[in-house]
Amino acid sequence: MNFSLTKEQEFVRKMVRDFAETEVEPLAADIDAEHRFPEETVEKMAQYGLLGVPFPTQYGGAGGDHISYAITVEELSKKCASTGVICSAHTSLCCWPIFNWGTEEQRQKYLPDLLSGKKLGAFGLTEPNAGTDASGQQTRAEDCGDYWLLNGAKVFITNGGYADVFVVMAMTDKSKGNHGISAFIVEKGDEGFSIGKTEDKMGICASSTTELIFQNCKIPKDRLLAEIGEGFKVAMSTLDGGRIGIASQALGIAQGALDVTVEYMKARKQFGKSLSKFQALQFVVAELATQIEAARLLVYRAADMKDKHLPYGPAAAMAKYFAAETAMHVTTKCVQLHGGYGYTKDYPVERMMRDAKITEIYEGTTEVQKMVIAASVLGK
């Protein structure tokens, strides 16, 4: 057992921390208020390799591992959870399935542009009537000989409005249920493919969450990802990894909220002394710091298992479940520790509390994580 980060992982933390303090933090409040996708930050993230952290250099990746990827999302999310999820959705939900399930041709065609950040990725599984019940896919893909014809719609797609490459699930044989779902690569500009409504959300307001609409969308035959009928497997394995990303985002939100709260408590005086001198409040800080550290260990362990090619699904579910609840709990307490100021937009904890909530919902709700965990403990 080794609880130390490697030198490379330490330097990734240092680099992303510097980057987040200089490039991300100054924009966070404004892009949240304006609901503006930070294109300029994404461009800089691309330049420094933050959009291809855990992939080999042969495909244009940075050659890092999943712990350094988790650290990247964590450090970004400490300052801005929207920026964190842009990186996470791109990396875990689009690059990874193409890397893991794609043919060599598909990898060569898509990964260099995605991993270098020239192109941004997204993932489409959720539909109006297929959320937690992902098997209820109504988007259809029809084999038309020379091409696939897609019809249907996806909702709540992170990066939707700014992505160039989409990994999309569609039903190819309804009679087979989950085994009738297949995965496809759709490109921005494909005939019959358009972006629908952009959601107006409670939190992560600077991330782009949209509908994807397929109306007689024609895509070439070579866009099928994995085999016909393997879409559900592609989606579930992708979400297992995605959960490490979202758990890292939750971890970052929690740590970021505690960091600013500790500063606030040292500066804020009531009854003639700093808030940090009151033992009742010190105990709250102790509790929050411990929960965050526990979440961190779960997150890094899941990432480490992924790096070691061990089965990591239940570990990722535990990490995501625990880190998300920690983020919600910590940010709620941090608003409380700020008192009235914490409820205003003058202090970042207000945004962090709104941002934290989504981590309990997307890429599998907390309830779904518990289903995954229970199944691994009790047997299916």
Partner 1 sequence: MAFNIIVCAKQVPDTNVIKINPKTGTLIRDGVPSILNNDDANALEQALQIKDKFDDVHVTVITMGPPQANDLLFECIAKGADEGILVSDRAVGGSDTWATSNTLEAAVKKWVKENGDYDLIFTGRQAIDGDTAQVGPQLAEKLGLPQVSYVEEFEIADDRKTVTVKRQLEDGYELIEVALPCLLTTIKELNTPRYMTISGIYGEKEMKTWNAKDIEVDLTKVGLEASPTNVFRSFTPAPKQPGVKIEGDTEKEQAKNLLIKLKGKHVI
Which positions lie near partner 1, rule CB under 8 A? 7-8, 11-12, 14-15, 18-19, 47-50, 52-53, 57, 61-64, 68, 72
Q: How far is the CB of 8 from partner 1 (least distance, A)?
A: 5
Which listed residue (40, 293, 363, 367) is catalytic?
Answer: 363
Report which of 243, 107, 237 is spatially closest to residue 165, judged by C-alpha positions. Answer: 107
CA atoms within 13 A of residue 222's CA, in its CB half-sphere: 8
Which of 20/235 has CB closer to partner 1? 20
Look up residue 314 and give its two tokens. 């239940």
- Considering the complex, state which of residue 60 and residue 364 has its C-beta at the smaller distance from partner 1: 60
For residue 40, indicate whether it is catalytic: no
Tell me which DSSP letter residue 99 carries: H
Q: Work out how close the CB of 365 gets to partner 1 at its nearest, in angstroms, rounded to a whole number.
A: 31
187 φ/ψ angles, rounded to the nearest 5 degrees: -110, 150
Contacts of 41 (CB under 8 A, 6+ apart): 23, 24, 27, 83
Q: Would you say 44 or 109 has its CB closer to partner 1?
A: 44
What are 236's two structure tokens?
């579930």
Minimum CB distance to partner 1, residue 262 (Å) = 16
Contacts of 7 (CB under 8 A, 6+ apart): none
At 379 the three-state DSSP class reads coil
Question: Which is closer to partner 1, CB of 54 or CB of 121?
Answer: 54
- Specify the residue for token string 């929050």: 288
Taken as a whole, the chain contains a residue count of 380
Q: Which two tokens stand for residue 339?
A: 């008192």
How is residue 14 written in tokens? Answer: 């240092």
Distance separating alpha carbons of residues 214 and 211, to the nearest angstrom? 10
Kind of pairing between the strands at 224-225 and 181-187? antiparallel
Question: Please, what sign has the CA dihedral across residues 70, 71, 72, 73?
Answer: positive
Minimum gap (Å) between residue 162 Cβ and partner 1: 21
Distance in Å, CB of 252 to partner 1, minimum: 17
Nearer to partner 1, 51 or 319 (CB): 51
Phi-psi region of 224 (alpha: psi -120 to 50; beta: other; left: phi over 0): beta
Nearer to partner 1, 11 or 283 (CB): 11
Ramachandran bin of 156, using left for φ above 0, alpha for ψ from -120 to 50, beta for the remaining angles: left
Q: How far is the CB of 150 from partner 1 (least distance, A)?
A: 35
- Catalogue the active-site residues: 363
